[in-house]
Amino acid sequence: MGFMNRDIVSIRDFTRDDLESIFGLARRMENEGYDRGMLRGKRVSLLFYEPSTRTRLSFQAAAQSLGADTVWFAGVEGTSVMKGETLKDTIETVANYADAIVIRHPYDGAARWAAEITTRRAARGEKKVPVINGGDGRNEHPTQTMLDLYTIAQSQGRIDGLTIGMVGDLKYGRTVHSLAYALGMYNCRIRLVAPDQLQMPPHVLSYLSSRGVECTLHTSIDEIIGEADILYMTRIQKERFPDENEYNRVRGLYRLTRKTLQPAKPSMRVMHPLPRVDEISIDVDDDARSYYFKQAGNGVPIRAALLAMVLGGIS
């Protein structure tokens, strides 16, 4: 399927070939540099209803590297959302101002709804404005997964055959939902480390088992650290807990330190979508196995490749 004007809502909408073509273009851009003429005259709108540092800034950097400009808000303070404007009306409006919309929203399914709104708009004879999901509630974060897979392949030379541990808040963490769905397309072993109440949701587990993925559940990092090729740490998603007492029971439960890392292979890499709170101690930053800041850097080539494909029809 071509990428021109395609909505990027769920990682499940992509095949392994689709992902490989994004990685190929991202690699080319990293090696050969960005062509500032590629998206000249295009405008990307960034609607961030929730806090963001990496996703918003790397999308903006990516757009600008290809010559596109951006219009955006970061937080609803100062927007008409404060006056009670619905998501539908905001999207209907912004679709007039931009060639693509990147949206981050606290509600699961908000990006799918936004994509439906611009599709209906196109049915009325307007131009289709593709919607890119920058994270919807606790549901998905597909562009994060694209850069995560790119990072895994970059750091290990492959994705197939690896043992990948995911640690922390696997219930509310949208990055690990999308990542697990994507890994179901590869031939990996998955190790899920979380307290029982924050384990991976059943819909993800049953998908993995339907794909025949070897996946085991754990409560301690020590159980998997020796065999992992990738240790994907996550933040406990405080803002998603219905009750603060529940959060207080699990906060600070996992903390990766130099000592915990000792049994890990020298080739193992620690990833984290960031922001980190206290789940990776800062002395791990100087360990050769830490890879999370390099991972964050990969947001620019991946998002530039995506924008080039969606807005420029580049392949």
Q: Is 10 near ligand NCD (CB under 6 A)?
A: no
CB 298 within 8 A of CB 146: no
Region 206-265 residues binding ligand NCD, contact defined as CB under 6 A: 235
* Neighbouring C-beta atoms of residue 260, cutoff 10 Å: 18
Angstrom distance (rounded) from CA 5 to CA 7: 7
In whole angstroms, give the CA distance from residue 214 to residue 208. 8
Q: Please give the radius of gyration of the chain, using alpha carbons only, rounded to the nearest integer.
A: 19
C-beta of residue 177 within 8 angstroms of C-beta of residue 242? no
Nearer Cβ to ligand NCD, position 161 or 275?
275
Q: How many residues bind ligand NCD (CB under 6 A)?
A: 10
Site string for ligand NCD, 166-205 (x = CB under 6 A): --------xx------------------------------
The nearer residue to ligand NCD, 58 or 312, going by C-beta atoms, is: 58
**Residue 273 in contact with ligand NCD, rule: CB under 6 A:** yes
Among candidate residues 6, 42, 141, 174, the one labeled active-site is 141
Beta strands 100-105; 131-136: pairing state: parallel
- CB within 8 Å of 105: residues ≥ 6 apart: 47, 49, 50, 87, 111, 114, 135, 136, 137
Give min distance, CB of 262 to ligand NCD, in A.
26
**Which two tokens mark 246?**
């529940």
The single residue of 56, 104, 235, 272 carrying the catalytic annotation is 104
Q: Which is nearer to ligand NCD, 50 or 99 (CB)?
A: 50
Query: Per the structure block, which two tokens stand in for 259?
Result: 């000592």
Q: Which is nearer to ligand NCD, 190 or 296 (CB)?
A: 296
* 6 belongs to the binding site for ligand NCD (CB under 6 A): no
Query: Residues 130 to 169: which contact ligand NCD by CB under 6 A?
Result: 135, 141, 144
| C-alpha–C-alpha distance, residues 130 and 61, integer Å | 19
Nearest to 41 by CA among 72, 71, 4, 68: 68
CB of 136 to ligand NCD, least distance (A): 10
Pick 4 or 274: Cβ nearer ligand NCD: 274
Give catalytic status of residue 219 as yes or no.
no
Closer residue to ligand NCD (CB): 295 or 314 = 295
**Residue 50 in tokens:** 């929730």
Please say if 54 is a catalytic residue. yes
Length of the chain equals 315
Burial of 8 from C-beta contacts in 10 A (0-12 / 13-18 / 19+): buried
CB of 6 to ligand NCD, least distance (A): 21
Residues of this chain, 38-77, that bind ligand NCD according to CB under 6 A: 54-55
User: Which residue in 55, 70, 151, 163 is the catalytic one?
Assistant: 55
CB of 273 to ligand NCD, least distance (A): 4
Task: Specify the residue for token string 């995560």.
Answer: 148
Q: Is 295 exposed, middle or buried (0-12, 13-18, 19+ CB in 10 A)?
A: buried
Find the shortest distance in angstroms from Cβ 274 to ligand NCD.
5
Contacts of 290 (CB under 8 A, 6+ apart): 269, 270, 280, 284
Tell whether residue 274 is a contact of ligand NCD (CB under 6 A): yes
CB of 254 to ligand NCD, least distance (A): 13
218 is known as an active-site residue? no
- Enzyme catalytic residues: 54-55, 83, 104, 141
Instruction: Give the binding site for ligand NCD (CB under 6 A).
Output: 54-55, 135, 141, 144, 174-175, 235, 273-274
